[in-house]
């Protein structure tokens, strides 16, 4: 157990991870047969349709980072963003409803998994385009600075994103204007179905941040307590007005690129090794060793499953959006002129 | 009423809106020095470096930061320098700015103005001369504006900044020095065309700098007894169907003229809509589908001349 964490705070991190895992496991099961890819044909029975990108095994990163964020802080996310969104405080039930495409979802069924947003907790959107959240994050942070807000922006992206131009443009921008941004590279080692390592020159996200004079910290992204402590230090510096920081969290994508991808292209030994470092199992062991009793952990786990079961039932029972909703919130000027 | 240039009219419009609304900020390359066309002249000394923000050459970040600023409650005017460079910020405009409000189920608005001057700028060749307004008219979620006069650049830019939708604002690079009267109290709503001449022989629709060339052709045609109803569309989306269809209903003939490549240009949309709605005869005139060349003789092949317009009008009227 890390010294900086007391029992209830440590348990809260565990709870965040367990809720993410339970949510994604349920969504994964509900998505089978929901998309035509990787040899599967979409059928009519799947409740969660279309590509579903799971962050299974990566839960320690959002849990450890978002523990230090407030609702007034902004967050931008990725296509693999369920964990970020839940950890930022978005309602699990409305997230599940959005995955089901129902009217009660955060986006009224207009977005689905890849576009979940909850502005009420500062979550400015998942994103279907790799690296697209970075410039939006620096813009939001720029606004926070201009408006004199005591708030910051956390920007999550993957290892694949550092090979896109907006990564360079956004880090440069954040440094030039000394913006209150924490960049979080959630390095799960895979870019869709290609290993990121052979596709990435140099030493990766931290080194690139260093080249732009942005202090970066590399951390074991499967150790939620290590992530928590590293993020705590970096976020304190960001909040103090010292400019942007980058957290490079080394983790592993346990599932395929999307939920129906068996990831047959990768070495089974690599996955087996990664499973030995599962962040939830590790945290559980350390909590037990730190004196939190098994009953307390079981209560957290049971509560998460109960919450997810209720979310599934509510999403299933919820109404579809009205067809007319396809024509709302497109734009104000010219509304009604569709052809 | 004052007399001033198309560029100065834009400066005045931005200043008006910045004065009226502290949420308005400008970001882009060289804007602090007034912009490369003088379209921000004097604004940084007046409003400061926090509101007239000089940026690196990072079009994706300029556009994307504009989106983030807008979601966070500001009203950014985003300068792309020329439409050709705006292509470096296309994901941020097309997939983010235009989609966010809808995609997030009505959470968030992106009230940004993306200024991206277009059109042929003498001897600037293929990467500084394009007219790409049809790309954006095709894109749900955005408003598209192409002003042709100093008055319109003043009034429409103010309206664009006040608008809560993302606005693609395409000034013409060859119009910056054009002088004309500007009434700073005159409001021109987005989506409203202007009828510049009245006539019964045919309807002629155009926008941006090409309107001036059309006006020249109309003078020639008038001397031949062909009276043209000349309409400056001004806003391409949402476009003023009522004005165009009313005119076509009276004249029975429509010629749409634009500087952009004719194939799949916005003229096709206007012509097809008018033909469907009124049964009028239609003709289109735009540039050939070639990149704009550098040498004068090559560049000239991409220009739609007053002579060509008059000839097309005679064929249609005859």
Using one digit for the tens of pLDDT, what is the confidence trace for B2-41?
999 999 999 999 999 999 999 999 999 999 999 999 999 9
Inform me whether the C-beta atom of residue B29 falls under 8 Å from chain A C-beta atoms: no
Locate CATH 3.40.50.970 in chain B.
2-182
Predicted confidence at residue A28, as pLDDT, reads 97
- Chain B environment of A169 (Cβ under 8 Å): 56, 58, 60-61, 64
- Chain A environment of B165 (Cβ under 8 Å): 331-333
Write the CATH number of the domain with boundaries B194-317: 3.40.50.920
d(CA A180, CA A134): 13
CB contact under 8 A, B141 and A333: no
Percent of chain A with pLDDT over 70: 98
Q: pTM for the full model? A: 0.96
pLDDT of A84 over the 80 cut: yes
Using one digit for the tens of pLDDT, what is the confidence trace for B170-198?
999 999 999 999 999 999 999 999 999 99
Token pair of A222, please?
């499967």
Token pair of A101, please?
């495409």
Position with higher pLDDT, A38 vs A109? A109
Three-class secondary structure of residue A264 per DSSP: coil
Predicted confidence at residue A36, as pLDDT, reads 78
What's the rounded mean pLDDT across residues A306-326? 98
Residue among A331, A335, A339 with most chain B CBs within 10 A, to mutate:
A331
CB contact under 8 A, B65 and A136: yes
Question: In chain B, which stretches have pLDDT less than 70?
Answer: none
Residue B103 · residue A111 · CB < 8 Å: yes
Of A144, A9, A146, give the one whose Cα is nearest residue A155: A144
Instruction: Transcribe A204-257 into DSSP letters.
Output: -HHHHHHHTT--EEEEETT-HHHHHHHHHHHHHHHHTT---EEEEEE----S-S
- Chain A environment of B106 (Cβ under 8 Å): 108, 328-329
Token pair of A174, please?
């954040």
Q: Which helix (H) or strand (E) holds B237?
A: strand B235-237
Instruction: Transcribe B284-298 into DSSP letters.
Output: EEEE-SSPPPSSHHH
CB contact under 8 A, A140 and B92: no
Predicted confidence at residue B318, as pLDDT, reads 87
pLDDT of A6 over the 80 cut: no
Confidence of residue A1 (pLDDT cuts 50, 70, 90): very low
d(CA B284, CA A18): 63
Confidence of residue A4 (pLDDT cuts 50, 70, 90): low
* Interface pTM, i.e. ipTM: 0.95
Q: How does strand B281-287 pair with strand B179-182?
A: unpaired
Predicted confidence at residue A93, as pLDDT, reads 98
Token pair of B262, please?
């004719």
From the CA of A178, how many Å to the nearest CA of chain B? 13
Inform me whether the C-beta atom of residue B280 falls under 8 Å from chain A C-beta atoms: no
What's the rounded mean pLDDT across residues A44-67? 95
Locate CATH 3.40.50.920 in chain B.
194-317
What's the rounded mean pLDDT across residues A167-193? 98
Residue A312 · residue A304 · CB < 8 Å: no
The pLDDT mean for chain A works out to 96
CB contact under 8 A, B103 and A165: no
**Chains A–B, number of C-beta pairs less than 8 Å apart:** 155
User: Domains in chain A, start-ordered, CATH in brackets?
Assistant: 7-31+47-316 (3.40.50.970)
Position with higher pLDDT, A5 vs A230? A230
Place of tokens 């966070």: B72
Q: Is A88 left (phi over 0), alpha (psi -120 to 50) or beta?
A: alpha
What's the rounded mean pLDDT across residues A40-46? 77
Of B144, B53, B55, give the one whose Cα is nearest residue B97: B144
CB contact under 8 A, A135 and B68: yes
CB contact under 8 A, A169 and B60: yes
Residue B102 · residue A329 · CB < 8 Å: yes
Place of tokens 């600037």: B124
* Composition of chain B by helix, strand, coil, percent to 5: 40, 20, 40
Q: Kindly give the residue spans of alpha helices, DSSP state H, lying in chain A.
A: 7-31, 60-66, 82-87, 92-99, 133-146, 165-176, 205-211, 224-239, 268-275, 279-289, 294-317
Residue B133 · residue B146 · CB < 8 Å: yes
From the CA of B312, how many Å to the nearest CA of chain A? 27
Three-class secondary structure of residue A8 per DSSP: helix
From the CA of B106, how many Å to the nearest CA of chain A? 6
What's the rounded mean pLDDT across residues A103-107? 98
Confidence of residue A229 (pLDDT cuts 50, 70, 90): very high
**Dihedral sign of CA atoms A44, A46, A50, A51 in order:** negative
Write phi, then psi, for A11 (nearest 5 degrees): -65, -35
Among the ranges given (A43-57, A198-212, B29-43, B112-126), the one the predictor scored with the smallest mean pLDDT: A43-57
What's the rounded mean pLDDT across residues A151-173? 98
Q: Is CATH 3.40.50.970 what the domain over B2-182 is classified as, yes or no?
A: yes
Residue B254 · residue B281 · CB < 8 Å: yes
Q: Which helix (H) or strand (E) holds B144?
A: strand B143-145
Q: Residue A16 to residues A59, A71, A122, A224, A301: CA-CA distances in angstroms?
A: 8, 16, 18, 10, 10
Q: How does strand A194-195 pair with strand A190-191?
A: antiparallel
């Amino acid at each position: 157990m890390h010294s900086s964490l007391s029992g209830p705070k440590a348990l809260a991190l565990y709870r965040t991870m367990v809720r993410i895992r339970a949510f994604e496991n349920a969504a994964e099961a509900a998505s089978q047969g929901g998309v035509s890819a990787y040899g599967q044909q979409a059928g009519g029975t799947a409740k969660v349709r279309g590509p579903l990108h799971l962050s299974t095994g990566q839960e320690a990163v959002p849990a450890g980072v978002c523990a230090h964020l407030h609702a007034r802080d902004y967050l931008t996310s990725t296509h693999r963003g369920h964990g970020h969104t839940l950890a930022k405080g978005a309602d699990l039930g409305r997230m599940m409803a959005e995955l089901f495409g129902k009217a009660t979802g955060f986006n009224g069924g207009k977005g689905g998994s890849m576009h979940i947003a909850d502005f009420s907790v500062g979550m400015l959107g998942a994103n279907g385009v790799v690296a697209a959240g970075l410039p939006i994050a620096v813009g939001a942070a720029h606004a926070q600075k201009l408006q004199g807000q005591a708030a910051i922006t956390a920007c999550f992206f993957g290892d694949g994103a550092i090979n896109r131009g907006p990564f360079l443009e956004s880090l440069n921008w954040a440094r030039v204007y000394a913006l209150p941004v924490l960049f979080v590279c959630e390095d799960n080692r895979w870019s869709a179905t290609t290993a990121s390592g052979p596709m990435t020159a140099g030493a990766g996200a931290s080194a690139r941040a260093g080249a732009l004079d942005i202090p970066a910290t590399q951390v074991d992204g499967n150790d939620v307590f290590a992530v928590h402590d590293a993020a705590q230090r970096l976020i304190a510096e960001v909040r103090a007005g010292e400019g942007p920081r980058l957290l490079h969290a080394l983790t592993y994508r346990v599932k395929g690129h999307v939920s129906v991808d068996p990831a047959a292209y990768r070495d089974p030994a690599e996955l087996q090794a990664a499973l030995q470092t599962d962040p939830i199992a590790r945290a559980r062991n350390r909590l037990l060793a730190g004196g939190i009793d098994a009953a307390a952990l079981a209560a957290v786990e049971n509560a998460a499953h109960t919450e997810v079961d209720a979310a599934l039932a509510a999403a299933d029972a919820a109404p579809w959006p009205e067809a007319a909703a396809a024509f709302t919130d497109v734009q104000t000027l010219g509304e009604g002129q569709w052809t | 009423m004052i007399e001033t240039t198309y560029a100065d009219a834009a400066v005045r419009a931005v200043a008006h809106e910045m004065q009226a609304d502290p949420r308005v900020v400008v970001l882009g390359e060289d804007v602090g020095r007034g912009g490369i066309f003088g379209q921000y002249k004097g604004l940084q000394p007046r409003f400061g470096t926090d509101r007239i923000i000089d940026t690196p050459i990072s079009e994706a970040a300029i556009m994307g930061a504009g989106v983030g600023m807008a979601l966070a409650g500001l009203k950014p005017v985003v300068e792309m320098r020329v439409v050709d460079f705006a292509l470096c910020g296309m994901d941020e405009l097309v997939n983010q700015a235009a989609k966010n409000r809808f995609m997030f189920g009505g959470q968030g608005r992106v009230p940004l103005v993306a200024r991206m001057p277009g059109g042929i700028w003498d001897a600037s060749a293929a990467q500084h001369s394009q007219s790409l307004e049809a790309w954006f008219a095709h894109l749900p979620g955005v408003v598209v504006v192409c002003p042709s006069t100093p008055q319109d650049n003043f009034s429409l830019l103010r309206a664009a900044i006040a608008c809560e939708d993302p606005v693609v604002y395409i000034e013409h690079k060859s119009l910056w020095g054009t002088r004309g009267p500007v009434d700073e109290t005159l409001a021109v709503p987005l989506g409203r065309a202007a009828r510049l001449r009245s006539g019964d022989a045919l309807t002629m629709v155009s926008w941006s700098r090409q309107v001036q060339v059309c006006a020249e052709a109309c003078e020639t045609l008038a001397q031949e007894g062909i009276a043209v109803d000349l309409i400056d569309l001004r806003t391409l989306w949402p476009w003023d169907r009522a004005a165009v269809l009313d005119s076509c209903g009276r004249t029975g003939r429509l010629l749409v003229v634009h500087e952009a490549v004719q194939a799949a240009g916005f003229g096709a949309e206007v012509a097809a809509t008018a033909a469907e709605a009124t049964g009028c005869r239609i003709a289109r005139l735009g540039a050939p589908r070639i990149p704009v060349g550098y040498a004068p003789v090559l560049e000239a092949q991409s220009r739609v001349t007053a002579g060509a317009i008059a000839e097309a009008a005679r064929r249609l009227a005859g």
